[in-house]
């Protein structure tokens, strides 16, 4: 699991550091960014993983979200991985923006064509944390997860399947019910096969919530009312109905006039960092 530092920039008395490593899960080299607050110079700090959306890389969130100031305020690290393997050389992986490169959907592919490389679920839940906890001043017992769009889907599903590994979860504009939206159906039919619809449900927030027994999740979800993908792709109304039916205590906020962009994320990122910080510091 050899890794190397590619770049380091001082920010808010801490540092943003870009790393590259050879991933065994994805069978390629992967990059990720980490914001290390100044407190990390004296010991391990809590951390929040941020999973980005379709077409994004490890850079979008770090450069565009405005999260660094709030993370520095709370002494919390930010870990921003890439959204898919890169350069796998699979026929068709670069043909469309919403599938393949930049669109790993945070699952482990089972279709033989994709199964060797497209294993973002195992990468995010196992391989990357093992590397980070071993090599960086991160307290692996105080970790949360959040994401945007496809990454919001990833954060919510990963949390629901691994709740003991994370203190809490939040999401911006998540793809909440991918088995019932075009983005999810396209990804799942290719990565997981068209026939095994039960396997699809294992990567669907709404479906996972239906099976959640005696576990209270305190999640924060924000979505803009002017999001072009709100009805067709995100299915937040379905999520809200399922949360209520399951007796969960989620905060789901419809933010008037906001869209799907990083302008929206940057407006409410402080709320999300604060949401995580209160649980990370308990």
**Residues annotated catalytic, as ranges:** 149, 227, 260
CA–CA distance, 156 with 106 (Å, rounded to integer): 11
Nearest CA to 121 among 151, 77, 95? 151
Strand 169-172, strand 138-148: pairing:
parallel
DSSP-derived 3-state class of residue 154: helix
Radius of gyration of the chain (CA): 18
Going by the DSSP 8-state scheme, the letter that residue 273 receives in this structure is H
CB 79 within 8 A of CB 49: yes
**Contacting residues for 203 by C-beta, under 8 A, at least 6 apart:** 105, 106, 107, 121, 153, 157, 178, 188, 192
**Cα 268–chain centre separation:** 16
Termini Cα distance of the chain: 32
The candidate with the shortest Cα–Cα distance to 69, out of 218, 277, 254, is 277
Q: How many CA atoms does the CB half-sphere of 185 hold within 13 Å?
A: 6
Structure tokens at 142: 């105080």
């Amino acid at each position: 699991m050899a890794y190397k530092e590619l770049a380091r920039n001082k920010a808010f008395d801490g540092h943003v550091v870009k790393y590259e490593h050879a991933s065994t899960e994805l069978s390629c080299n992967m990059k990720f960014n980490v914001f290390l607050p100044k407190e990390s110079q004296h010991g391990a700090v809590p951390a929040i993983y941020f999973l980005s959306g379709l077409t994004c890389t490890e850079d979008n969130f770090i450069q565009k979200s405005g999260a660094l100031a709030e993370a520095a305020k709370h002494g919390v690290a930010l870990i921003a991985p890439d959204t898919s393997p890169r350069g796998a050389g699979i026929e068709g992986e670069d043909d469309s923006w919403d599938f393949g490169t930049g669109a790993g959907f945070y699952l482990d592919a089972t279709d033989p064509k994709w199964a060797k490389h497209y294993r973002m679920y195992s990468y995010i839940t196992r391989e990357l944390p093992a590397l980070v906890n071993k090599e960086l001043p991160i307290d692996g017992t105080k970790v949360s997860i959040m994401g945007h769009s496809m990454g919001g889907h990833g954060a919510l599903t990963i949390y629901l399947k691994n709740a003991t590994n994370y203190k809490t979860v939040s999401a911006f504009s998540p793809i909440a019910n991918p088995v019932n939206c075009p983005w999810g159906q396209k990804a799942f039919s290719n990565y997981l096969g068209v026939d095994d619809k039960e396997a699809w449900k294992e990567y669907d927030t709404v479906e996972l919530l239906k099976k959640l027994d005696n576990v209270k999740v305190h999640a924060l979800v924000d979505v803009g009312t002017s999001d072009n993908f709100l009805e067709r792709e995100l299915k937040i109304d379905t999520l809200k109905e399922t949360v209520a039916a399951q007796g969960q205590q989620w905060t789901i906020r419809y933010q008037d006039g906001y869209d799907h962009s990083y302008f929206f994320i940057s407006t409410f990122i402080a709320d999300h960092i604060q949401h995580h910080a209160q649980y990370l510091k308990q």
